[in-house]
Amino acid sequence: MNILVTGAAGFIGYHLSRRFALAGHRVIGMDNMVTGSDANVRALQALPGFEFIRHDIEQPLALPGPIDRIFNFACPASPADFDTKAVEIMLTCSIGVKNLLDLARAKNALFLQASTSECYGDPPPEHHPQKETYRGNVNTLGPRAPYDEGKRFAEAMTMTYHRMHGLHTRIVRIFNTYGPHMRADDGRALPNFISQALSGKPLTIHGDGSQTRSFCYVDDLVEAICRTADSDVVDPINIGNDSEITIKEVAQAVIESCGSKSPLIFTDRPMNDPERRRPDLSRAREALGWQPSMPWREGFKRTIAYFRANLAGMRP
């Protein structure tokens, strides 16, 4: 197949592009390199059948030749970017998504939109774990709104093109994902903890650490994305791991795995930080025959090994 992956220089986009290229597909990787990694691009360019195009999807695009599938992972997803790139995030999720949907129409290609668990905001206890039918509790004016609302708009745009134009579309709501090739300055808990522990610095926990998350290893995620594209499910699908762990437990596990003596320090929690986050994976299990297989302790060890090997670099 001929496959376009946007955001190919990013964390998930890199792994997805690599999977397709190694499977023998022709892969066009696209990224504007605002947050993308040059090292990821170089690694992908070493694979047969991979071509890289530097382009911002907010700008019109026309690609020659056939395209069978488009996977849209173009959007800064790090909390560290929510303040400095807020406008860019919203434009990427609106104008950028429309440009890609128009390209999918022109090419008669399947379009898969990467969405996020942030669409659920901070859910109340009766909506835990989160099902795809839950409409969310999002602060539309808060500091996280550009990303949360941007992704919600991207979902709405994708479904509108499906209903109005008969476009073949898929939507995956991605929960916390981790693994090799994450940015060291990503801003999320796990890469922060690993970088701090390997550097001998205190691990910074926002709040008392009792808030929970569920962590999905990137290889499990990529498998689920591929199965979603191959399925006939148009409605959003939660993709993640339903094994729940507190942030304090994450920090302690990282310290243990790193062999670090770093202490824990506790600071104020950011506004609208969710108290609990765990996906209901019933739809993924039933429709895709998929469930995560990587135990989080083993996944943490693999991720730490990658960070340790790249510690001398400015960005893994």
Among residues 14, 147, 161, 217, the one annotated as catalytic is 147
User: How many domains in the chain?
Assistant: 1
Domain membership flag for residue 187: no
* SS3 category, 259: coil
What is the average per-residue pLDDT within 235-259? Answer: 96
**Residue 253: inside a domain:** no
The model's pLDDT over 77-103, given as tens digits with 9 standing for 90+, comes to: 988 888 899 999 999 999 999 999 999
Cβ neighbours for 313, distance < 8 A, ≥ 6 positions apart: 39
The verdict on residue 226 lying in a domain is: yes
pLDDT of residue 78: 87
Q: How confident is the model at residue 311 (pLDDT cuts 50, 70, 90)?
A: confident
Cβ atoms within 10 A of the Cβ of 291, count?
13
Supply 166's token pair.
């008969």
Residue given tokens 């898929």 in the structure block: 170
Angle formed at CA 69 by CA 149 and CA 13, multiple of 5 degrees = 60
Q: From the CB of residue 303, how many other CB atoms can be counted at a distance below 10 Å?
A: 24
For 151-202, what is each residue's pLDDT tens digit?
Answer: 999 999 999 999 999 999 999 999 999 999 998 888 889 999 999 999 999 9
Whether residue 172 is contained in a domain is answered as yes
Mapped onto helix, strand or coil, the DSSP state of residue 173 is strand
Tokens representing 131? 């099902």
Give the count of beta carbons closer than 10 Å to the beta carbon of residue 256.
Answer: 12
Contact between 217 and 294 (Cβ < 8 Å)? yes
pLDDT for the residue numbered 186: 83
**Residue 151 is part of a domain; what is its CATH number?**
3.40.50.720
Residue 249 lies in a domain: no
Query: Is 102 within the bounds of a domain?
Result: yes
Confirm whether 147 is a catalytic residue: yes
In a domain, 74, yes or no: yes
Q: Is residue 53 part of a domain?
A: yes
Domain around 83: 2-177+216-242+278-293
